[in-house]
Amino acid sequence: MPALMAVIGIAVAVADQASKAAVLANLEPGETVPLIGDWFRLRLVFNSGAAFSLGEDYTWLFSLIQLAFVVVIAVVSFRIRHAGQAVGLALIAGGALGNLIDRLFREPGFFLGHVVDFVSVGNFAIFNLADSAITVGVVVFLAAMIFEGEPGGGEPEPGRPAEEGKEQVHK
């Protein structure tokens, strides 16, 4: 599953950065472009905090947390045996990586950068593709946990004994 997860995660981060580049090239900060009336619009803002701009003075901490998420998911990817869980975690990692790139390389500086947000729906917070990937990834992962079982569970690898308390299935 690590290869599948890497492809999905990198694709999400690349798509996120490409969408942000397109918005930065075409909108001024604070500019709003209605797409579906006042309900769905593009609006360029820079967010130094987390969701809903919380913790704006702790950008460096959010950078470290996102970096930790990406590293932990990369390490855990070698234990994942279920496709749904792999896809969910890959979406989370890709979204975290997309926003981490902003925090590392955008103004005002390394580990202090502001995340580019531009999707505005109704009176909800303004967000980006990376945020959407994280949200969808959490939902997919939780649903997969319910329907697929434990992340490292499933049939034991060939040549490895079943875990204690579980019967080995012989075919």
Would you please indicate which residues are annotated as catalytic (active-site) residues? 117, 131
Q: DSSP letters along 93-157, please?
A: HHHHHHHHHHHHHSTT-TTTPPEEEEEEETTSPEE-HHHHHHHHHHHHHHHHHHHH-STT-SSPP
Region label for 111, one of left (φ > 0), alpha (ψ between -120 and 50) or beta (otherwise): left
- Which residue in this structure is represented by tokens 């704006």? 56
Tell me if 138 sits within 8 A of 152, measured CB to CB.
no
The C-alpha atoms of residue 79 and residue 10 are separated, in whole angstroms, by 19
